[in-house]
Amino acid sequence: MTTTTATTTTSTAVDMSVDLAGRRLPSPMMTASGCAANGRELGRFFDVAELGAFVTKSVMADPRSGRGTPRMAETPSGMLNSIGLQGPGITSFVENDLAWLKKSGARTLVSIAGNTSGEFADVAATLRASDAFDAVVGVEVNISCPNVANRGLVFACDPLASAKVIALVREQLPRDVPIFAKLTPDVTDIVSVAQSCVKAGADGLTMINTLLGMVIDTDLLRPQVAGVTGGLSGPAVRPVAVRAVWQTRAAMLEGRLPFVPIIGVGGVRTGRDALELVAAGASAVQVGTATFNDPSAPVRVGRELAGLLQDKGFERLTDVVGIAHERVAR
């Protein structure tokens, strides 16, 4: 009589760690700037240290009350916001919010903004000098702001203005602290803006910011938000985000742009949504609008993404970054 010994196969967890311009993160998942305040709010629902990085609300040099109300409007498969970069200013931010994030063990990607290129530099300098700066794993430069020195033209719509901001911020930060240029999709050629930013010193790219949109109140027959226009976010913008990431990754593969990490953001609600961005070329993924109805969305999406990769037989997230480019029918 022969006996057989049953063997069991233990599935190995997928390695979800990522290297973002020299900073090793245990997870690709992040919050998106402006959708989770500065940590305390989400900290009531999950440990923010679980994230690859917590992305702060864009902070400027001085406190801002933002735009008048109403500031938000629901749209089909999304929302429009016209908050106006309300915030406490960089001094209060580093003393209170960044200090809290450091105490919580959160790896922090600080989003900075400015009305002028010089203001961006000043904010970066104050950030660098703060006691909690060692909690910062990178700086996201929100160049989707109006440039008051150029008739209010958004920095990210002008390759030269974008490059100037990035160069000035780069001068203020240590070389081992990566900076990510956050790009707007409201341009004809997003790759040309990416090229200017990387040449000026950006270590990576975040794409996309919201799309400029507008909603009319059909009862009152006037704009529904006080600022008239606002930023469109939510599932409706995801195909635009995937396209932008795809085009930028393709430019890298074609040698038109150096290889730098891309952080994908726009309309992510599920692990499958995140997988689209990763397959298009994103090394990390931010979750924003989804947190308004599911505060745990950034960690939930991360678990779903890991499960999908495991089901497909991948051992590492990095094996999937940009994989769709290899599978295009030629």
**What is the rounded distance in angstroms from the CA atom of residue 284 to the CA atom of residue 85?**
24
Cis peptide bond prior to 263, omega within 30° of 0: no
265 and 285 in contact (C-beta within 8 Å)?
Answer: yes
Q: Where is pLDDT greater, at 37 or 173?
A: 173
Instruction: Give, as one character, the DSSP assignment of residue 68.
Output: P
pLDDT band at 89 (very low <50, low <70, confident <90, very high): very high
Is the confidence at residue 100, as pLDDT, over 90? Answer: yes
CA-to-CA distance for 154 and 148, rounded, in angstroms? 9
Which spans in 152-219 are helix H? 159-172, 190-200
Instruction: Provide the annotated binding site.
Output: 33, 57-58, 81-85, 142, 182, 208-210, 234, 266-267, 288-289
Q: CA 197 from chain center: how many Å?
A: 16
pLDDT value at residue 40: 94
| pLDDT in the model for residue 147 | 65
CA dist 208 and 228 (Å) reads 21
| Count of Cβ atoms closer than 10 Å to residue 20 Cβ | 24
Take residue 22 and report the two structure tokens written for it: 């020299």
Convert the pLDDT of each residue in 14-60 to its tens digit: 999 999 999 999 999 999 999 988 999 999 999 999 999 999 999 99
- Binding residue ranges for substrate: 57, 81-85, 142, 209-210
Does residue 197 have an active-site annotation?
A: no
Rounded to an integer, the average pLDDT of 244-249 is 98
